[in-house]
Amino acid sequence: QVQLQQWGAGLLKPSETLSLTCAVSGGSFSGYFWIWIRQPPGKGLEWIGEITHSGSTRYTPSLKSRVTISIDTSKNQFSLNLSSVTAADTAVYYCARGDRYYGSGTNPPPSYMDVWDKGASVTVSS
């Protein structure tokens, strides 16, 4: 079955750029969209953004000025860059697969996140 595995630096200094990459294996890469989510220590989940197989992106408004999500279809990978990090960006970062439910008859179809990686801790500290 499909698996997601991410990697990247786990410790950053303020003002540096966070870079994470998520590789998809064991399943189709096309036909889905690919998502980044984060969870600060002891807090809830925050959707960061997503990218389609064709490269179309959407970002959460609060991070839009600092976030770039990209995709490499030749490697079945997608990446997150978050610039000018501060301590507030300390969190567990998850990558996930997004899919759509076409049985509802609504347009656009409802979407959901059905496969997640185990998450990676990123700490920002001087």
Partner 1 sequence: DIQLTQSPSSLSASVGDRVTITCRASQSISRYLNWYQQKAGKAPKLLIYAASNLQSGVPSRFSGSGSGTDFTLTISSLQPEDFATYYCQQSYSPRTFGQGTKVEIK
Task: Pick the stretch among 7-15, 20-28, 43-51, 80-88 that binds partner 1 (CB under 8 A).
Answer: 43-51
Distance in Å, CB of 95 to partner 1, minimum = 10
**How long, in residues, is the chain?**
126
Show contacts of 98-107: CB within 8 Å, 24+ apart: 98/32, 98/33, 98/34, 98/35, 98/50, 99/32, 99/33
Burial of 126 (0-12, 13-18, 19+ CB in 10 A): exposed
Q: Is 65 in the site for partner 1 (CB under 8 A)?
A: no
Distance in Å, CB of 123 to partner 1, minimum = 16
- How many residues lie near partner 1 (CB under 8 A)? 23
Task: Pick the stretch among 10-18, 24-32, 46-54, 70-78 that binds partner 1 (CB under 8 A).
Answer: 46-54
CA distance 68 to 3: 23
Give the interface with partner 1 as residue ranges (CB under 8 A). Answer: 44-47, 50, 58-61, 94, 101, 103-104, 106, 110-114, 116-119
